[in-house]
Chains A and B, each alone.
Chain A
Amino acid sequence: MTITWVPIIFVDVAGAFLMIVFSILSIRHAWRLIRKDPENLVWTYLLWLAVGLAGFAISRSAGHILKQVLFVSGYDPVWEHIRPVSGSLNTMLLIVVAAVTLFFNRAWHIYQGVFAERKALQGTQSELMRLNETLENRVQERTAALLIHEKRMAQTDRLASIGQLSSGIAHELNNPLGVIQGYTQLLLRGEEPASQKHQDLQVILKHARNCKTIVDDLLNFARHSKPEKTEINIHDVIDDVLIFIKHRGKMEKIRIETRFDENVVPMSMDDKKIKQVLINLLMNARHAVGEDGAIVISTAYEPEVRQIKVSVADNGYGIDAKNLVRIFDPFFTTKSTGEGTGLGLAVSYGIIKNHGGEIQVSSKPGKGAVFTVILPVNPAKDTLMAS
């Protein structure tokens, strides 16, 4: 059939031109990529691909344009000279592009392997560094724990010797005080109730009684008496204490919040003594927060260690760091005479020790203080096992 050349010529010339344009643009962008990351294998391949195709496009398109020009102008025999060169070049560049693609595919696998190994190496290294770091952290933690432990031991020692001393004094004072009380009462019977002497004797009796409570407190702190234990839930004890405290007034503006752990189990304890501890802690907290503040009583049961924690937190004036080690000492107080004797915490400490427990304190001066009482759930068994 006879048919016009025109579409073929047109598509050949326009297509050839567009091929050159697009392939050169491709090289430009591949070049931009490789400049960002010269060691990237993928970009390297894309650059080769673009260059190979561009070479092909230029050689082929130049050939095609030339061919059409020659044909149209009637010089087609000349084309036969150029044709083998252009054709061979096309062939060669096509093979180059194909070979580069296949080679890239292989190289990629190898590259992946090397990459994975490098990753693994980096992983191991960072793991090592992490281990090293945790090791250091652990050493630090243990050292800190040891220091705290040592301090606590020192405090226990000190409190024990203070206890011995004070129990000795208390014992010595107890009998004379009893005698003073007895004789005063005897004398009181022989006096008229309205007389001056009667009143004077009443004053003596009152102060002797005060002395007696202090001496009792001291003995409580030092004496390792077995507490009279009953099985009871700590929450009931706390509720009783709160009712008692509220009746004593001056607590209207203080918000007392309780956060009870439902899992707390009943435990055996001397509830009168524990109440005394809680009252001491609450009175201290009340004093610390002043007229208007907040106190939070929370409980927590830790089944793994079979312990119950009761903490009393307040947002009061807090405790200075230098006082923190002394607050459990008998007669240590920052309050003025008449406001406090400094026996509350000492007595509480003795009671909790007798229960086989522990009492801890933490405080930020100006922000408040937290006292935590830790009681073992089965102290009887524990002490049995320990002895």
Chain B
Amino acid sequence: MISKDKLKLIVTACFITLLATSSPAIATQPHGDPEGVVIHQFSHVFFIFSMGILIYWLRNRELDRQPGWREIKYSAFFLILWSAVAFVAHLLDEQLAWVITSRVDSFTMLVETTRGGPVLAWFYYIAKLDHLLCVPGLFFLYRGLARLSDFEEKKVEGGGA
């Protein structure tokens, strides 16, 4: 597939350029520059907003009642949840610094909280399992697209016959 190759090329090129130009951060400092965190948080909010618009559009056109589009709606829904959780996690550790994590050894870590106590620590710990939300998001995207393309294929065949 051409697009995949192109994409790989672009991603690698970006990696190399950025690696070469970025100055190494101080090893013990877990936060990036504040602008970096803020823009990343913005991107999460923007992303939530756009997925919300997508769901609105699907409902408005009543596409979400058709198979394929329904899965794409679920996908947008999970991605919104994921983005919100990721946003909160970034907020807690990088922006507000209410939660500070450090490594004890290869398999244990220390979660300290400046506020909120162990409840917040547990909440943060669970929020860190955000893949449990974004993997279903992508899974539904894949299912939706697969059903849509199967449907279109059948339609073309049916029309051709």
Residues of A at the B interface (CB closer than 8 Å) are 1-8, 11-12, 14-16, 18-19, 22-33, 36-37, 46, 49-51, 53-55, 57-59, 71-72, 74, 76-77, 80-85, 87-92, 94-95, 97-99, 101-102, 105, 108
Contacts and interface: CB of A to CB of B under 8 A. Distances in A.
B106 interface: yes
Contacts of B106: 5, 71-72, 74
Question: By DSSP majority rule, is chain A's interface helix, strand, loop, or mixed?
Answer: helix
A33 to B, nearest CB: 5
Question: By DSSP majority rule, is chain B's interface helix, strand, loop, or mixed?
Answer: helix
17 contacts: A3-B125, A5-B107, A15-B131, A18-B135, A18-B139, A27-B4, A29-B149, A71-B103, A80-B24, A80-B25, A84-B32, A89-B18, A92-B43, A94-B43, A94-B47, A98-B47, A105-B53
Contacts of A16: 131
Contacts of B135: 15, 18-19, 22
Given A15-B131, A51-B3, A94-B43, A81 B32 contact: no
Interface size bucket, B side? 35 or more
Given A24-B4, A53-B138, A85 B18 contact: yes
Given A33-B152, A80-B25, A4 B128 contact: no
Interface string B94-116: 00000000011011111100000
B40 A87 contact: yes
Given A1-B111, A98-B43, A88 B36 contact: yes
Interface of B: 1, 3-4, 7, 10-11, 14-15, 18-19, 22, 24-27, 29, 32, 36, 39-40, 43-44, 46-47, 49-51, 53-54, 57, 72, 83, 103-104, 106-111, 118, 121, 125, 128-129, 131-132, 134-135, 138-139, 141-142, 145-146, 148-149, 152-153, 156
Contacts, number: 176
Given A30-B149, A31-B1, 17 more contacts: A1-B121, A2-B110, A3-B111, A4-B109, A7-B129, A16-B131, A49-B141, A51-B7, A53-B138, A71-B103, A83-B25, A84-B22, A91-B39, A91-B40, A91-B43, A97-B50, A108-B57
Given A90-B40, A98-B43, A85 B121 contact: no
A55 B7 CA distance: 7
A26 B145 CA distance: 6
A107 to B, nearest CB: 11
B27 A80 contact: yes
B3 to A, nearest CB: 6
A19 B134 contact: yes
Contacts of A98: 43, 46-47, 49-51
A4 B107 contact: yes
B50 A101 contact: yes
Contact of A19 (B24, B43, B131, B148): B131
Nearest to A108: B57
A32 B103 contact: no
A94 B42 CA distance: 10
Nearest to A58: B11
Contact of A81 (B14, B24, B46, B49): B24
Contacts of B51: 98, 101
Given A50-B141, A97-B47, A85 B7 contact: no
A200 B88 CA distance: 134
A24 to B, nearest CB: 7
B94 to A, nearest CB: 10
A6 to B, nearest CB: 6
A22 B36 contact: no
A27 B40 contact: no
B138 A23 contact: yes
Contact of A87 (B36, B103, B108, B145): B36
Give 5 closest A-B pairs by Cβ, nearest first.
Answer: A15-B131, A98-B50, A29-B145, A85-B18, A101-B50
